[in-house]
Amino acid sequence: MELTEVYEAFGSDRTSRLVRSVSLGALRTYGVYEAIKVRSRLRTLNRQKLRAAAPRMWEQIKDGDAELARDLSQAVLVSNIPLIVEVLDLLEIEHDENGFFDKDSDYSSQLSDGWEQRVFEHCKDRFDPDLVLHYINHLGWELEALTEPYLEPNEVPAASG
């Protein structure tokens, strides 16, 4: 599974809601600011311009811009560190205080059948469900634990266009 597939399944509206969760301060702190500015094709980056660019960014991702999908995913994640920490703690994946972990380790025992549903059910009332789904899919992509985008149970992937 690729991150572009995740964003396509999420659709433009959900992707726009995820963009609204991005903190410019977090982008600067974690060194993602310039990448998002360049990939979003904005000469100056502020909350309003980033939000306005969200539909265009979704189109770029839908058209296969894997780098933008990866950078946008990082921007959303660094802006929502408490969710990452909560999920990794729930899955018993060792990490530093900011949710960074050894990507080369084997986490198959922590990502046993149904891990996505367990994470979603545990976190959906404490965090925005769109963010929870985003991190489930990002983690699944990063650890090669998902073969297709994970959506809420009974949810149909968003229509393209």
How confident is the model at residue 160, as a pLDDT?
53
Summarize pLDDT for 58-112 with one digit per residue, the tens. Answer: 999 999 999 999 999 999 999 999 999 999 999 999 999 888 999 889 998 999 9
Least confident of 12-21, 29-38, 43-52, 147-156: 147-156
How confident is the model at residue 158, as a pLDDT?
72
How confident is the model at residue 118, as a pLDDT?
96
How confident is the model at residue 159, as a pLDDT?
58
**Three-class secondary structure assignment of the chain:** CCHHHHHHHHHHHHHHHHHHCCCHHHHHHCCCHHHHHHHCCCCCCCHHHHHHHHHHHHHHHHCCCHHHHHHHHHHHHHCCHHHHHHHHHHHCCCCCCCCCCCCCCCCCCCCCCCHHHHHHHHHCCCCCHHHHHHHHHHHHHHCCCCCCCCCCCCCCCCCCC
Is the full-model pTM beyond 0.85? Answer: yes
Summarize pLDDT for 24-72 with one digit per residue, the tens. Answer: 999 999 999 999 999 888 999 999 999 999 999 999 999 999 999 999 9
CB 4 within 8 A of CB 58: no
Least confident of 7-21, 96-110, 114-128: 96-110
